[in-house]
A and B are shown apart, each in its own frame.
Chain A
Amino acid sequence: MRPYVRDKKTFSQSEVPENTCFEAGYLVSVNSGWRSIRPVIDNAKCVGCQQCYLYCPDGVISINDKKAAIDYDFCKGCGICAKICRLNAIRMESER
């Protein structure tokens, strides 16, 4: 399980300043809009070595059934995964 996007709560003035503690892992916005390019996994080439998973700064890669999968809501398109993959199983494609 990873943190997921929830509804943005509304706060009244009196709730906020007194106590800025809040639930951990509470996400209200995605990062997908930051991307100009997106990583695309070639399942035929991916061997599930998990190197891309280890090095993704945003933690958006998971390994399911020995194949890498990307959470495009939070991937920023940095391209680190594509450079890490020794099998060239990740290609960066332009976002339209």
Chain B
Amino acid sequence: MANTADSISREEYFYGHKACAGCGGSLAVRAALKVLGKNAVSVLPAGCMSAVGFNFPQLCFSNNSIISTFAGTASMLTGVEAGLRARGFKDFTAVGFAGDGGTADIGIQALSGAIDRNDNIIYICYDNEAYMNTGIQKSGLTPFGAKTTTTPAGKNIHGNIRPKKNMFEIAAAHDIPYAATASVGYIDDFIAKVRKASQIQGTKYIHVIAPCPTGWGVPVDETVNIAREVVDSGLWYLAEYENGEFKLNRKPKEFTSVADYLKKQGRFRHLSDEDIDIIIKSRDKKWEYIGKNFKFD
């Protein structure tokens, strides 16, 4: 098997940034830009990746890069792509990196509009499952049971009471040319998906799980392992949507323990056995759905 490392640029395009040690989001941004290369024009809304990347005059993107409004990642991508095209540029990729809050809550309408127009852009949601840059508030992508500052764990209510929004299938429901899920724990798969997206015309959406050691309450050297475990335990899945069809990329033969995955993280440590049962049941229901509706070969 060819080494993925040889397929991407040796240059670093996200360097010297001020993300916490072990930040999964920064790994996602770094890897994607090494696929897209120096002609990537990146758009980042308010969120950790813009906060740690642009500290004037410390500018950690060595490709062209811009901060958008919080809600406007996708609409700014539309403008960047149209503007460069109008000026005669051909060899570039407009790519957005928005957090889970910036995608599933505040930026969803701009994203939906861009997909509807089928603008030629790549939108990457790095999902750390809360509004991290402002100190860990619940977003629409915070999973059930997670403790955040707005969903505290008390005697009666054990953290977030709502399940995670299904952004991947929401994007796919627009009949988008390409959508995919990924995890920074399986970086080869993520890199392959970014490359594939760069070769498809129209709007592309990639949803990558990117653990935040600070917000999840895991040691900083555990980011990659926990990003693998969320896939191995079946709480996340690696899939693609293309030509009107869902395809599963990886099917764990046997799921690893959900309880082990949860108990390693400060944000889930308060969960009772009943709470964990609810999480396991919803995982099983999701996989039943995947079994019926996703191709796997």
Contacts and interface: CB of A to CB of B under 8 A. Distances in A.
Nearest to B187: A54
Contact of B221 (A16, A22, A82): A82
Given A57-B26, A57-B27, A24 B14 contact: no
Interface string B182-220: 000001100000000000000000000000000000011
A31 B22 CA distance: 13
Contacts of A22: 56-57, 59
Contact of B12 (A3, A8, A24, A76): A3
A3 B23 contact: no
A14 B195 CA distance: 42
B11 A24 contact: no
Given A24-B65, A26-B57, A55-B187, A2 B224 contact: no
A1 B11 CA distance: 6
A16 B65 CA distance: 18
25 contacts: A2-B12, A24-B64, A25-B15, A25-B60, A25-B61, A28-B57, A29-B16, A30-B16, A31-B16, A34-B21, A49-B3, A54-B4, A54-B5, A54-B187, A54-B188, A57-B22, A58-B19, A58-B26, A59-B12, A59-B34, A60-B15, A77-B21, A80-B22, A80-B220, A84-B224
Given A60-B15, A79-B219, 18 more contacts: A3-B62, A16-B56, A22-B57, A23-B59, A24-B61, A26-B59, A28-B58, A29-B58, A31-B16, A55-B27, A57-B26, A57-B30, A58-B26, A78-B223, A80-B221, A80-B224, A83-B224, A84-B224
The 9 A-B pairs of least Cβ separation, nearest first, read A25-B62, A79-B221, A50-B5, A78-B22, A76-B21, A78-B21, A57-B27, A59-B12, A2-B12
Interface of B: 3-6, 10-24, 26-27, 30-31, 34, 56-65, 187-188, 219-225
